[in-house]
Chains A and B, each alone.
Chain A
């Protein structure tokens, strides 16, 4: 917490939570927002930043980033992960379970989450819903929620068995936490590396039909209705899945949906040259799927955009497409990639930012992610027009697997504050 006060004036203030997009500023005192709007008491501030009309928004929140196992040689550490996150405009990052770091052990879980306080960016952790993400044996969700887990997730692994899914939804409902599961029918999707399409058929790639997602969403939302569980659809990626989501939302269920940056900004044509950098899980989809997701984002149907940040060792991407470990890093590049949607007029900036700020905050009941008096001063200052080129060698992390390597972006983070403290400043 900062003891001093800081004013940021002459900004284009965007607060998706209140729907405000206009000129204004913010006064920060003791790490929280004391004033905001066009009338800021600048005299009360120890320091004043003139934003010169640039965008000031709540710092971004990511519900899904993978950390590498501790002590991985040349691996990404929480220090480099949070440094990259700050550079990307993120004030809060939730570590999500994945096969390399499953976050499935209650032993030491609270110790781990207590250690998160030392990083400038707020770090939270989800826990695994099943042991080793095996999809069969429930992990000690209750103990891990007591230890600070903010939701229960399942990595890339769908729950094959409907009975297991029913029990997981029922069991997690007592803790009032989301059960986040990748929507895929296990039988249709296991072992596949691409969307079933003309391209993948010609390439002879093992592929999953898009309706695999729809089948899973239909089943899981029905089970959520049966159990009263809170279902988070983890990385919605197809038009077929979106239809099933809309159908389910006609009933009064607790359903949330996230979408990954990759599925909003890339499609299977990007993987056309079989570049392992575009091997994703879920796989990249058709352009029609991408357009549907962007439209759903604009309509507020996507609660949160996740980076699905996943550093992988060089060796794992040193394989041909079908054998490469899926995933891309994303914390440093998410905003750059997503701003293209706003620049291209595919979505309004405020709608985009909603799914990056108050959207995910509201899912987890976090006070940040909004510009309001008394809210934590987690803020990001963005130059919406500054051009830059994504160069993985410039990443904070030792890893460099990025689907956006070499891409030209328009719009970059200038400064990120968490609790009123600057955790990233492009000028420093």
Chain B
């Protein structure tokens, strides 16, 4: 389906949760991302789509890759980009998030890209400021652009993500990437499997439209793609697994274990990667299977698509 088939404009001025998107929205994002991805491989990659708009990168949690990816995306679209890295915790606060939000909004930016350790912070900022907000990760809740870039990467290989069997293995409990991916893959009609020790699974996760496994070898059977997640040590308190070594032997991805998957299985990781804990170093570097660096490349393109589409909505609202 091409966008021309619909008389439909991307309607969202925020991207806070994948649940806000319908399949057509996702299709539009993927089409624009494909455009930008191709262009990004040339030297003619700059555009002036967002010229005159200001994008604030508001990162309350340290990030290098996501922040860098958003910054490159916005700059390639010609936006003015300002990075705010704000050390924030409820314990040592100077001002409330509400006041921070209003202060920043008074500087008249157009889009805020927000990462925060608390669930709901992007929504909170959107409500308090009225500005367009892109969620770049909120606590253990959602990371929608990561899910979009993951599915986009798969769609580039397969055409359609629907009907494929995709396994997410590792620390599901603490993972916003897993939550967004489960939501998005369900919208796209994929068959989702989860594999983790019971200590790293959310309660009643089998109600989320996925099949849940504790045994990796069973979980891997017939999979078209496998996504490994890192253990979120910064969100953990106490021991969830006895050791990285034991985790690797029970849940680590290796070439041998992938033999029960589809022969063209793709291996993914949202990064940062702990080699030898959730994935064997040779598998991570295998260009036949691993699409980990492709995910990073897709990330810039998907974020360009999201910022571009939101920018269009802002301009439309401004004109009307």
Q: Choose from A198, A203, A314, A316 the contact partner of B141 (Cβ within 8 Å).
A: A203
Q: Are B204 and A198 in contact (CB under 8 A)?
A: yes
Complex Cα–Cα for A201 and B207 (A):
11
- On chain B, the residues within 8 Å of A319 by CB distance are 90, 96-98, 118, 124
- On whether the beta carbons of B141 and A204 are closer than 8 Å, the reply is yes
Instruction: Let me know if B13 is at the binding interface, CB within 8 A.
Output: no
Residues of the A chain whose Cβ atoms lie less than 8 Å from the Cβ of B118: 319-323
| Distance in Å: Cβ of A192 to nearest Cβ of chain B | 11
Asked if B120 and A203 sit within 8 Å, CB to CB, the answer is: yes
Task: Give the residue of A201, A204, A323 whose beta carbon is less than 8 angstroms from that of B90.
Answer: A323
Check B96–A318 contact: CB distance below 8 A.
yes
- Bound-state CA distance A323–B118 (Å) is 7
The distance in angstroms between the C-alpha atoms of A191 and B119, with both chains bound, is 14
With an 8 Å Cβ cutoff, the count of chain B residues facing the other chain is: 29
B115 at the interface (CB under 8 A from A): no
B121 near A320: Cβ-Cβ < 8 Å = yes
Select the residue from A206, A209, A274 with max chain B CB neighbours within 10 A: A274
| Contact partners of A196 in chain B: CB under 8 A | 203
Is A315 in contact with B99, judged by CB distance below 8 angstroms?
A: yes
Within 8 A of A (CB), among B101-132: 116, 118-121, 123-124
Do A204 and B203 have beta carbons less than 8 Å apart? no
Q: Is the CB of A202 within 8 A of B179?
A: yes
Q: Which of A314, A316, A322 gathers the greatest number of chain B CB atoms within 10 Å?
A: A322
Contact A318 B98 (CB under 8 A): yes
| CA of A416 to CA of B97, assembled, Å | 40
| Chain B residues closer than 8 Å to A191, beta-carbon distance | 237
B84 within 8 A of A: no
Interface residues of A in 203-253 (CB under 8 A from B): 203-206, 209
Q: Assuming the A-B contacts A191-B237, A204-B140, A315-B98, are A322 and B203 also in contact, with contact meaning beta carbons closer than 8 angstroms in the complex? A: no
A192 to B98, CA, bound (A): 22
Q: Would you call A315 and B96 a contact (CB within 8 A)?
A: yes
Q: Which residue of B lies closest to A201 (CB)?
A: B202
A138 to chain B, nearest CB (A): 26
> In the bound complex, how far is the Cα of B202 from the Cα of A209, in angstroms?
12
B158 at interface by CB-CB < 8 Å: no
- Known A-B contacts A201-B203, A201-B205, A323-B90; A274 and B97 likewise in contact (beta carbons under 8 Å): no
Which residue, of A314, A319, A323, has the highest number of chain B Cβ atoms within 10 A? A323
Q: Bound complex: CA of A62 vs CA of B269, how far in Å?
A: 55
User: 1/0 contact trace for B56-77 toward A, CB 8 Å?
Assistant: 0000000000000000000000
- Is residue B20 within 8 Å, beta carbon to beta carbon, of the partner chain? no
Given contacts A320-B116, A320-B121, A322-B118, contact A204 B179 (CB under 8 A): yes
A197 to B204, CA, bound (A): 8
The complex places the Cα of A319 from the Cα of B95 at a distance, in Å, of: 10
> Is residue B139 within 8 Å, beta carbon to beta carbon, of the partner chain?
yes
Q: In the assembly, what is the distance between CA of A321 and CA of B119, in Å?
A: 7
Contact with B along A301-324 (1 / 0, CB 8 A): 000000000000011101111110
B141-177 interface bits toward A, Cβ cutoff 8 Å, 1 = contact, 0 = none: 1100000000000000000000000000000001010
Residues of A within 8 A of B179 (CB): 202, 204
Instruction: Write the nearest CB–CB distance from A286 to chain B, whole angstroms.
Output: 13
CA distance in complex: A202, B172 (Å): 11
Cβ < 8 Å to B, chain A residues 276-330: 276, 314-316, 318-323
Contact (Cβ within 8 A) B124 A274: yes
Most buried by A among B96, B174, B176, B179: B96
Residues of A within 8 A of B237 (CB): 191
The closest CB in chain A to the CB of B88 belongs to A323
B-chain residues with CB within 8 Å of residue A322 when the two chains form the complex: 118-120, 139
- Distance in angstroms between the alpha carbons of A316 and B138 in the assembled complex: 19
User: Contact: A202 with B208, CB < 8 Å?
Assistant: yes
Residues on B with beta carbons closer than 8 Å to the beta carbon of A321 = 118-120, 124
Contact A204-B119, Cβ < 8 Å, known A198-B204, A198-B207: yes
List chain B residues, Cβ under 8 A from A197.
203
Q: Given A198, A201, A206, A320, which contacts B124 in the complex, CB threshold below 8 Å?
A: A320
A205 to B121 CA separation, bound complex (whole angstroms): 12
Given contacts A205-B141, A276-B124, 18 further A-B contacts (CB under 8 A): A197-B203, A202-B179, A204-B138, A204-B139, A204-B140, A204-B141, A204-B174, A274-B119, A274-B124, A315-B95, A316-B96, A319-B97, A319-B118, A319-B124, A321-B118, A322-B119, A322-B120, A323-B97
Query: Which 4 residue pairs across A and B have the least CB separation, nearest first?
Result: A204-B140, A318-B98, A318-B96, A274-B120
13 contacts between A and B (CB under 8 A): A191-B237, A196-B203, A201-B204, A202-B179, A204-B141, A204-B176, A274-B120, A318-B97, A320-B97, A320-B119, A321-B120, A322-B118, A323-B97
